[in-house]
Structure 1
């Protein structure tokens, strides 16, 4: 993992929460939703099948614990997952908390206006709750 390089767009759009066994768990800087991404710390991965079977298993495990912690810490109704990669090809998995009446409900989060950056205090509070739930 020493030679892992995070794509500059992911670096720009998110904040590191914690490094797990395989992935960086990052918070997207859009306060309209609790929105995390998991980025496997492996260079050259664009698709899930590019990973070893063990890394695929670790990704599944880390996704489950991150999603459960987000649901507990945010109180969201539903968790959405996505691995699009059309703009940023480095493999990353979106984990988005959704609730009835949120911005764009029940549609997807993509293409729903401009991001609303987290206020630093609100972001710190959310990350603290998330880490406690992890």
Structure 2
């Protein structure tokens, strides 16, 4: 059974499930910031995935990037698998704007997070879930829904 790192669980909300990855939203309203987490235990690096899972991860990442660019009209998308603080493999997808508070620097460690309000959380989840409705399985009623 797949086990999510407790830091990822604490800092994000489940958006839904692709065939390989959980899609999660980081609880920082300053940036539309999503994370793909391959549902494989004991994997810290992309090369540790099977060839089939690597292709799935790339496909899911590219699809998410296209949707985020379309949904948020990004200046730039920052996509990265860092893992220095949370070793479980996860791939960040951060929508960036030339007008955001950290531009052009990376967002990591720059600003304290500003949590989403319930209303804004519902809006962003609906926006993404609707655009991915053909490929994303939504959480069941009993699954986590808010921070």
Tell me the TM-score normalized by structure 1.
0.96
CA shift at 1:75, angstroms?
Answer: 2.1
| 1:39 match | 37
Q: Distance in 2 between matches of 1:103 and 1:132?
A: 28
Stretches of 4+ aligned residues off by more than 4 angstroms? none
What does residue range 1-134 of structure 1 map to in structure 2 within 5 Å?
A: 3-134=1-132
Give structure 2 stretches of 5+ with no counterpart.
Answer: 133-147
Give structure 1 stretches of 5+ with no counterpart.
Answer: none
CA shift at 1:133, angstroms?
Answer: 1.9
Q: Distance in 1 between matches of 2:27 and 2:50?
A: 30
Deviations 1:59-91 (A, max 9, x none): 000001111111222222211111111111000
CA RMSD of aligned residues (A): 0.8
Q: Distance in 2 between matches of 1:103 and 1:133?
A: 27
Number of residue-to-residue matches in the alignment: 132
8 Å CA contact 1:73–1:126 kept in 2: the answer is: no
Tell me the TM-score normalized by structure 2.
0.87
Deviations 1:93-112 (A, max 9, x none): 00000011102001001011
Q: Distance in 2 between matches of 1:13 and 1:80?
A: 18
